[in-house]
Amino acid sequence: MKRTSDYLNEIARQSDLFYELTDEERDALKKCLLSIYIDVKSVCDKYGLTLMLGGGSVLGAVRHKGFIPWDDDFDMMMPREDFDKLKEVFEKELSDKYILSVPRYRGLCTSLYMQILKSNTVLKTPFNKTGYDNVLVDIYAIEKMPDILLLRKLKCFFLDLLRIISLSISEYKNRKIRSKYFKKDRVASIYYKTRCIIGFIFSALGRERMYGFFDKLASSSTGMDYCTIPTGRRMSYGECLKREVFFPVSKGSFEGMEVNLPHNPDVYLKNLYGDYMQIPPVERRERHFYTGIDLSSEFFIERKDV
C-alpha cells in the first residue's frame, strides 16, 4: 500500500517544485539533528529510559555507520512506558530549547507520534500542519500487542483504520496547501482526493481527538510476546514482531557515537526494507520536501515559487 510520501517522492522526481538542500545545508541539518538526539538521550539516561534508533536511522547505523548519505531526518523509538515518562519530564528537562508535539499532551499535537522540535530553527516544508517550521526528530512508541493471534490481528485492523481516518482528516484540513502538488500526477491526484473525501466524512470528529483515540488504543495492550510500531511505515501488522527483536537493546555506531539499536537489527531491517544492504537506485531513494532552511541565522534560502 502506497503512502502519501511515496506519491510525493514520485512527483518530486518529475518536477522542480521542491528545494533540494545543498551539501552544506544538509551537513548543517544533520549536525542540528544530532544535537537534538544528544539532548534527548541525556534526559533518557538521567531517568533510566530506553531510547533506540528506529526506521531509516537503524538502516543508516548498520549500512553506513551514520546518516544515509542522501537522507536528512532522524528516527528514534522507545517502549511505551518510557515514551510516556519522557512526556512527563519534557517540560522540566527540555522545554527551554524544544517544543513537544505528541498525542494526549497539552498544547501542540501535530502527528500520531512524538515530535521534538528545536526552537530558533527554520525548516520550511509545503506540508506544514502546525504553524511551526522547525527542525525536528521523530520518536515512535513500541507498543505491546495481544499474545492471542486473533486479538492481535483485530487490534492491528482497528489501529490501521484509525490511522487512515486520522491522517485523512489532516489531509482534508490542509487540502488548499497540498492539493496543487498532487495535481502533477493523475494517480496521485485520485489517491489524494480519496483521502480528502475520507477526511471530510470524519472531520467533525476532530484531528487531535482522533490522534488521542489512536494513541489510547495503541497503548492499551499488556501482552508480553509481541510488539509493534503502529505509526511505522508498514502499519501495525506489518511492523508486528516478536518482542526479542527489539529488547534488550544492542549497540551500534552512528556518526562516531555509540547508539542503541533493536536487539536484532537484521530481522528488524529485513522486515522494513527486505535486502537492506543493497543500495537503492537514485530514482527509488526517499526525498524530503523543503522550501527554506535556517539553522544558524547565517543563511536563509526560500523558494518564492513554491
Which residue's C-alpha cell is 515530535? 115
pTM over 0.85: yes
Q: Which of 262, 156, 149 is nearest to 218 (CA)?
A: 156
Residue 260 contacts residue 249 (beta carbons within 8 Å)? yes
- In a structure prediction context, what are the per-residue pLDDT tens digits for the chain, which is 306 residues long? 566 666 666 666 666 666 677 888 888 899 999 999 999 999 999 999 999 999 999 999 999 999 998 888 899 999 999 999 999 999 999 999 999 999 998 767 888 999 999 998 888 776 655 556 888 999 999 999 999 999 999 999 999 999 999 999 988 988 887 777 777 778 888 888 999 999 999 999 998 899 999 999 999 999 999 999 999 999 999 999 999 999 999 999 999 999 999 999 999 999 999 999 999 887 777 777 776 777 754 444 444 443
And the C-alpha cell for 70? 542522501
> What 8-state DSSP symbol labels residue 279?
P
Helices 207-218, 149-173: axis angle to 10 degrees equals 160
3-state DSSP assignment of residue 15: coil
Q: What are phi and psi of 40, to 5 degrees?
A: -65, -45
Q: Which of 57, 20, 46 is nearest to 272 (CA)?
A: 57
Half-sphere exposure of residue 79: CA atoms within 13 angstroms, side-chain side: 21
